[in-house]
Structure 1
Amino acid sequence: MIDRDGLMDNECASKSRREAIGQLAFFGSAMAILSGRAAAQNGAGSGSYSNAAVALAGQVAPSSSEAELEKAVKIARAMRAGPREITSDATVAEMDHRGNMTVLRQGSNGWVCTPGNENKVGDPPMCADALALQWFNDILAGRPAPTIKTPGLCYMLCGATQHSNDSVHDKTSPAIPIGPHWMVLWPFDAKHCGLPTTVRDAGAWIMFAGTPYAYLHICGTPWVGNEYTPGTEPRWTMQYVPTKTAPR
């Protein structure tokens, strides 16, 4: 996510040796705080805390307290879960297992980004609109079906882990790693739309198919591919080849 904006190249080119050493010191402090606060579970971990800490280098004063460092890393991690057009004005908050929010930074656009917990399966960093948050709260409350009346949107561009592709209530199965993705939270019918129902590293599928919590899962970011501009030459990837002649 850092390479997308060219942040590391620009910063490293402009920093002096002394500043670079200071950045490494910050990184070590932030990671020590985070690793000391939670015991890692087998299979859990999205690996994006380190990206967030590096991205914050030079933005937090060396004299910052432990609490300030931890808060800054959490905010950076949350902001890498969604597109900048959303995260720049989103509220950043921590969400507990009951859906209660602790605001880390107040926003103004109605979106909420959460840092998640890389040491817990099923708690990835995410950016969600109000409807998506209600969808997640319905799960946490154990409701048999979501209560939203229109589709919700959620980004998880740092990737995620979860226990199951079949049941939203599974809390014990081994972790399934999933790459960067975004979701349309609405009860999609896999049979009606013809989409697959199995986990994959690209493309789209219906998660929790056949349940009230089925939704459209798109693995990858919406920004891949070349943009169309006037004068662009189309080059199609589909090709026709001669049909093989059956032996006589």
Structure 2
Amino acid sequence: MDRHFSNEKEKAVKTYTGMNGRVGTGALAILLMSLAGSGTALAEEDLKADALSAAWPGMQEGARVVDWEGNVLQEGSNGFTCMPTPPVLSGTAPMCLDELWMEWAQAWQNKEPFTAESIGVAYMLSGDEGASNVDPYAEGPTDDNEWVKEGPHLMLIAPAELLENFPTDPHNGGPYVMWKGTDYQHLMIPVDARE
């Protein structure tokens, strides 16, 4: 969930609704339909395949798959929910999250507090389009936000004390803590090379 899909969607809505109040409900409805439509322009099977590309093969059959509007494309039985690449991104960034990660994502998206009391697992085996290693809400690379475009990786959330001894350097050659010191800190575990 180190993608900033919700920020992009929020920004798009704010851009169209924040024009000094000049956009009426009809225009807003058209915008929302176009945002939703951009996610459903692909055939349902393509969305499902994209979402499941984040998972390791042994979990794909039992994973729940939803699109970005919450439509269930595949019922699941293993506790993981897979989502396709957000429609506002041009690259790939599908993800599969366990239940704790889903709680984390809700807190992150709404900028609410989150404290991990157990371990959660997420898969992004197709990699991602990049995120700041230090700022959970950065929208793009800057000189000081340690932007990282990660290859295939796993992510773990855990109680803060379990993450204390891991480095924060994404170039250390192994796992690293992203967003250290925030409610959204998590361990990034690269499993293949970055592009």
TM-score of the superposition, structure 1-length normalised?
0.53
Q: Which residue of 2 aligns with 1:183?
A: 155
Asked which structure has the greater RCO (Cα within 8 Å, sep 6+), the reply is 2
Aligned residues of 2:175 and 2:187 also touching (Cα < 8 A): yes
- Is 1:151 the counterpart of 2:124? The answer is no
- Is 1:219 the counterpart of 2:187? The answer is no
Name the amino acid aligned to 1:86.
M
> Distance between the aligned counterparts of 1:107 and 1:191, measured in 2?
30
Aligned counterpart for 2:49 among listed residues 62, 68, 76: 76
Aligned residues of 1:92 and 1:106 also touching (Cα < 8 A): yes
> Distance between the aligned counterparts of 1:167 and 1:189, measured in 2?
20
Aligned counterpart for 2:131 among listed residues 143, 163, 179: 163
Task: Give unpaired runs (5+ residues) of structure 1.
Answer: 1-36, 39-65, 222-248
Residues 127-156 of structure 1: CA deviation (Å, up to 9, x unaligned): 11111111111100111x314432211000
Q: Which residue of 1 aligns with 2:93?
A: 124
> Distance between the aligned counterparts of 1:210 and 1:147, measured in 2?
11
Residues 106-145 of structure 1 aligned to structure 2 (within 5 Å): 106-117=75-86, 119-120=88-89, 124-143=93-112, 145=113
Give aligned-pair identity as a percent: 29
Aligned residues of 2:92 and 2:126 also touching (Cα < 8 A): no
Aligned residues of 2:121 and 2:156 also touching (Cα < 8 A): yes
Provide the alpha-carbon RMSD of the alignment. 2.9
Q: Which residue of 2 aligns with 1:199?
A: 170
User: Matched residue of 2:106: which SS?
Assistant: helix
> Distance between the aligned counterparts of 1:191 and 1:111, measured in 2?
23
> Distance between the aligned counterparts of 1:166 and 1:196, measured in 2?
12
Task: Give unpaired runs (5+ residues) of structure 2.
Answer: 1-36
Residues 191-213 of structure 1: CA deviation (Å, up to 9, x unaligned): 831x2212238411111112222
